[in-house]
Amino acid sequence: PGAGHRMPGDAVLTGPVLQYSRSILIPAPAADIWPFLNRIGHGRAGWYVFDRVGLPDQREADRAVPHLRDLDIGDLLTTGTGHRLRTKEVPPRDWMLWAGGDGRSTWLWLLQPVRHNQTRLVVRARFQYGLRHPGALAAVPLDAVDLASVRRAMVAVRDRAVIRSATRLGKR
């Protein structure tokens, strides 16, 4: 599904909304991708953007860490730059929806099975704007920067999931 298709969380924001959707095809089942999505966030496994650089979060990215419990509704995620997100919905191994602390943005991370051992990871960001809150329009020039960082995170999740899947299936 592309940008015009309804997805989980689309009904959360009303009125004028700026949105974008990104996706990547991952040759692994959702069960091998979910653990990396479930640990994402500053103070958890990181955002996978600066992969393998040795940042504090990164050493948590490739291994199971007991204190990184499953995300639950209401859990707080921070970006490391002060932006706060709350987990709004999280059906495990399917999708998770975050809402911005100001209530005017959402982020969806959706796993769509395509065929056996192949899953599409879709990331959809939505920003509410209007005469009262025109600030979301200021984010438009940042779209290229965000595209690059979301793409890097998605590729890093893909790479980790492929290794996990191959190892689990004895292919590596």
| Tens of pLDDT, residue by residue, the chain (172 residues) | 555 688 999 999 988 888 888 999 999 999 999 988 888 776 776 666 654 434 444 444 455 455 666 788 888 877 666 677 888 988 888 999 988 877 888 989 999 999 999 999 999 988 887 666 555 555 554 555 566 778 888 888 898 899 888 887 676 5
Q: Specify the pLDDT at position 57.
A: 44
Q: Specify the pLDDT at position 144.
A: 52
Distance CA 110, CA 25 (A): 12
Amino acid at 53: V
Distance CA 49, CA 123 (A): 14
CA-to-CA dists, residue 15 to 5, 20, 37, 100, 104, angstroms: 17, 16, 29, 16, 10
Q: Specify the pLDDT at position 122.
A: 95
Q: Which residues pair with 78 in a beta bridge?
A: 84
Q: Specify the pLDDT at position 55.
A: 43
Q: Specify the pLDDT at position 3.
A: 52
Q: Specify the pLDDT at position 31.
A: 92
Indicate the pTM of the whole model: 0.79
Distance CA 147, CA 58 (A): 21
Question: Residues 6 or more apart from 35 whose CB is under 8 A from it?
Answer: 64, 164
Q: Specify the pLDDT at position 12.
A: 92
CA-to-CA dists, residue 50 to 30, 82, 153, angstroms: 23, 18, 8
CB 119 within 8 A of CB 18: no
Distance CA 25, CA 92 (A): 19
Per-residue DSSP letter, 71: P
CB 21 within 8 A of CB 112: no
Distance CA 40, CA 85 (A): 12
Q: Specify the pLDDT at position 28.
A: 95
